[in-house]
Amino acid sequence: MVGIVALLSLIVGFVTTFYVRQFLGYHFPDSPLISLFLAIATFAFIMLFSGVIAWIGIPGVVIFALLMFFSLPLMVMAPQMLPQAYQDYFLPWLPMRFLYEGIREILYFKAGFLNQNTWSLIIVAGIGLLMFFLETFGKRHQKTFI
């Protein structure tokens, strides 16, 4: 499954930048760099989602629905324009902020590929993988022979 998710993430990263270039006419300064960053972000979020779903089940969907709801202001406003309470209490807990901040640093501040947000996304992917594998190979799923 992890291999399929990795392949799907690469496809999503490269197809997304292709569509943005073709349909929106946006020219990325370094398109393969953006594509790889998007692939890592996609892999991290799919693994985190899979790990939480494997660990706690269907109630994990509610958790991610709330995370997506609270991360919507990040897409439409600069973080400095958000209310102070949102900046202090919600923003530090959103894993989606690594995607937004990483793309912003790569596009506007000429950051390299291995910036702090890329490492954060790799850690998020590792936590998701760990949760997924611990639950998959846990005691609940082992067969007992009599």
pLDDT (tens digit, 9 = 90+) per residue, 50-68?
999 988 888 889 988 888 8
- Min mean pLDDT across 52-56, 60-64, 124-128, 136-140 is at 136-140
User: pLDDT at position 1, please?
Assistant: 81
User: pLDDT at position 16, please?
Assistant: 93
pLDDT, tens digit (0-9, with 9 covering 90-100), for 78-89? 778 888 888 888
* Token couple for 115: 């910036």
Contact 85, 77 (CB under 8 A): no
User: CA-to-CA distance for 58 and 64, rounded, in angstroms?
Assistant: 11
User: CA-to-CA distance for 87 and 97, rounded, in angstroms?
Assistant: 11
